[in-house]
Amino acid sequence: MPKCTINGVHVEVKDGATIMEAFYKLDQGIAHYCYHPGLSVAGVCRLCIVDIEGNPRPQIACNTVVTEGMKVTNQSEKIKDGVKWVLDFHLINHPLDCPVCDQAGECGLQEQYMEYGKYNSEMAEPKVKKHKVVDLGPTVVLDSERCVLCSRCVRFTDEVSKTNELGLFNRGDKTEIGTFEGQELNNKYSLNTVDICPVGALTSKDFRFRQRVWYLKNSETVCTGCSTGCNVKVYYNKEGTFRVKPVFNEKVNGHWMCDDGRDIYKFVNVEHRQTVAHKITAGQKSEMVPGLAATEAYQVIKNTDDNNLAVVLTGQYTNEEYETALKNFKTKNIFHWKNKDENWKDFDGLLIRGDKNPNSKGLETALSKAGLKSDWKDLESGITSGKFTTVIVAGPENIKAYPCFDDRVKMIAKAENVIWMTACSSESFKAFHNNALIIPMKSYLEKAGTFTNYAGLDQSFKKATTIVSHALTLAEASFLMTGQTLPMPATAAVSKFIDDSRRTDQVMIENRKKNEFVFKRGNL
Amino acid sequence: MSVVSNKPDKSHWYFISILGGLFITAKHLIKNLLNKDKMMTLNYPEQKFEYSPRFKGNHVLTVKKDGAIRCTACMLCATNCPAECIKIIAAEHNDPTVEKFPIAYEIDILRCVFCGFCEEACPVDAIRMGPEWQTPGLSGSAFTYDINHLAYRPQLKGGVVSVVDEVERHKSGI
């Protein structure tokens, strides 16, 4: 465990750790492009130069191992000047098309120029022209002129996705990133290259030109794409949600996430959502408010015997919702609907799992805690034999992940009364011809809760935004459906409102009174 | 609260001020009748006042030499706009040298405060404030100017050509 001093701050790092890791550990700023904590060291951008005491020339922090008693600084004039001119070299052939570049606003070149650069270019030669708008594959577009050749994307396909599609071609200022002849960048993790690209060279086809990044807010949440439960950031504004990016979590996903998980913003946008409740009686459809529909459902449930009532749950709701729902529904016929039984346990070795629900484990735990065990076949036979007259379904949000969705809707539609709770609308709901109620639910972005991932790790997330304001959560719906009123959130006996909102440096009213005489006329 | 006291003995003197006012009116009347060219007022709908070309009136979207819209949909004008009256929808252009262009560019002119910040923010001289200022309309929708109105309205006679040219810029090696 060698100890070193970074800009005068003592730090102890692991054996074999580099100076860059020590900088990361202390959260101190250092300019760099090619270093990424999730990838191997390349040392090609030469931007992370630091001064080591006793060493006459600057060294790169990313590829120099910390030794005992090393004194490192990147605040000296020599280093500041050095970084500035290395940055100038990076920008020699940069096309400066920030207005049309999607990365503008979160670009490494813009940020580091403002922090370390601020020079006037001394380059008089014409810029080298390279390929623009190169179609690399189904998800990514390349602009070679913007590329700073940090080789992060090449190392990513080499080390993480292990697909080896990308390479560096040609030499000197003609060097370009590209794919090999006849090959395209097409793997399940390809969009990570866009995230790690420090400039706008790689852009996502899905997000390209849809929003400027400074119009977007973000909120950390848990990916609902599969049971891995990657930590993600969802970017949204009042026009909808636009993209998903991974957040580092060592225990779950590291730095990465899969391309399928990046689609989880799509079904929460209002155009895919069930915005009003539908009541279908003998083929006649009428619209109503979700809360009213839930109380109508109570009238149906009240008249059904507990033995004739079946509840179907999917692994796309939170632990808190399951707990409340299982407490409220007194029936023992509770079924767990899985997206696909065959590849339920699939795993691709990196992140993607066959269980396409974020919280199957949480549902299983909740069911076993309540002592419930049921087989899907019982539901099928129960509906065909007419045993289950009323079926309550808490359907999936991410309908795309359920290839059996259409068949299952048709099967359940045979029941006399169906109460279907769903966040997303679907064409399959046309199958309802008996009595049915479709109640809109809140999506994972609109509620707080906890998901338990495949390994049993509980991950809490908070509410990000509101998209369908009057939609219900499963907990709220279960209260209304069992004839109860919604519980008001309990307030603390002593109001902490004022204390919480007070700034630490705020002047208290007593102190203000004491100071009052100072400002009186005559005393000054 | 102040109380205005009415003093009857002083109030007779208003008559002199009225005469003074009438005198000024008569002076202007005679002056204007004798010298019609130097009259200060205009017969508005028939006669119109020409402001200087630097007047900040209704917006104009400039065009390239080939007549296509110069705007690159970078949204800097919309970002800089204090009234939030600019709405742009960007799209991918078939020509890779253009890359990004606006398929919709709308200005809600009733919200606009004519500050000219959009003009200042524009990196490619795509939006200018023109000299027009008389723009009546019959309904609210007439005041939401779309991309065709902003770039190709009849008064512009086929569009105003931008001073920033991408082709020339590339030729000079920038």
Q: Is B124 on the interface with A (CB under 8 A)?
A: yes
Q: Is A98 on the interface with B (CB under 8 A)?
A: yes
Q: How confident is the prediction along chain A (524 residues), in pLDDT tens digits per residue?
A: 899 999 999 999 999 999 999 999 999 989 999 999 999 999 999 999 999 999 999 999 999 999 999 999 999 999 999 999 999 999 888 988 898 999 999 999 999 999 888 888 888 888 898 999 999 999 999 999 999 999 999 999 999 999 999 999 999 889 999 998 888 999 999 999 999 999 999 999 999 999 999 999 999 999 999 999 999 999 999 999 999 999 999 999 999 999 999 999 999 999 999 999 999 987 789 999 999 999 999 999 999 888 899 999 999 999 999 999 999 998 888 999 988 777 888 898 899 999 999 999 999 999 999 888 888 888 889 999 988 999 999 999 999 889 889 999 999 999 999 999 999 999 999 888 889 999 999 999 999 999 999 999 999 998 889 999 999 999 999 999 999 988 877 666 665 555 556 666 666 666 665 555 544 444 44
Tokens standing for residue B87? 């709405």
B149 occurs within a structural domain: yes
Q: Is A208 on the interface with B (CB under 8 A)?
A: yes
Question: Of the candidates A180, A152, A176, A181, which has an alpha carbon nearest to the alpha carbon of residue A164?
Answer: A180
A and B: number of Cβ contacts within 8 A: 40
**How many Cβ atoms from other residues are within 10 Å of residue A519's Cβ?**
8
B106 occurs within a structural domain: yes
With CB atoms and an 8 Å threshold, state whether B100 touches A127: no
pLDDT tens digits, residue range B109-145?
999 999 999 999 999 999 999 888 888 889 988 999 9
- Is there a contact between B143 and B109 (Cβ–Cβ < 8 Å)? yes
Distance from CA of A139 to the nearest CA of B (A): 15
The domain of B63 spans: 59-164
| Helix-, strand-, coil-residue percentages of chain B, each rounded to 5 | 30, 15, 50
Domains along the sequence of chain A with CATH: 3-90 (3.10.20.740), 123-270 (3.30.70.20), 273-481 (3.40.50.740)
ipTM of predicted complex: 0.80
What is the pTM assigned to this prediction?
0.86
Distance from CA of B72 to the nearest CA of A (A): 6
pLDDT tens digits, residue range A382-400?
999 988 999 999 999 999 8
CA-nearest residue of chain A to B100? A100
What angle (nearest 5°) sits at the alpha carbon of residue B67, between those of residues B65 and B72? 85
Q: Which of residues 65-94 of B touch A (CB under 8 A)?
A: 72-76, 79, 90-92
Q: What is the tally of structural domains in chain B?
A: 1
List of chain B residues whose C-beta atoms are within 8 Å of the C-beta of residue A212:
74-75, 79
Tokens standing for residue A478? 């279960």
> Domain of B109: which CATH number?
3.30.70.3270
With CB atoms and an 8 Å threshold, state whether B172 touches A99: no
Question: How confident is the model at residue B172, as a pLDDT?
Answer: 76
B90 occurs within a structural domain: yes
For range B35-63, the mean pLDDT: 86
B9 occurs within a structural domain: no
Question: How confident is the model at residue A522, as a pLDDT?
Answer: 46
Distance from CA of B148 to the nearest CA of A (A): 21
B44 occurs within a structural domain: no
Q: Which of A100, A123, A205, A211 to probe by mutation at the B interface, max B CB count within 10 Å?
A: A100
Distance from CA of B50 to the nearest CA of A (A): 35
With CB atoms and an 8 Å threshold, state whether A126 touches B79: no
| Distance between CA atoms of residues B80 and B147, nearest Å | 19
With CB atoms and an 8 Å threshold, state whether A100 touches B97: no
| Distance between CA atoms of residues B40 and A182, nearest Å | 77
Q: Is B97 on the interface with A (CB under 8 A)?
A: yes
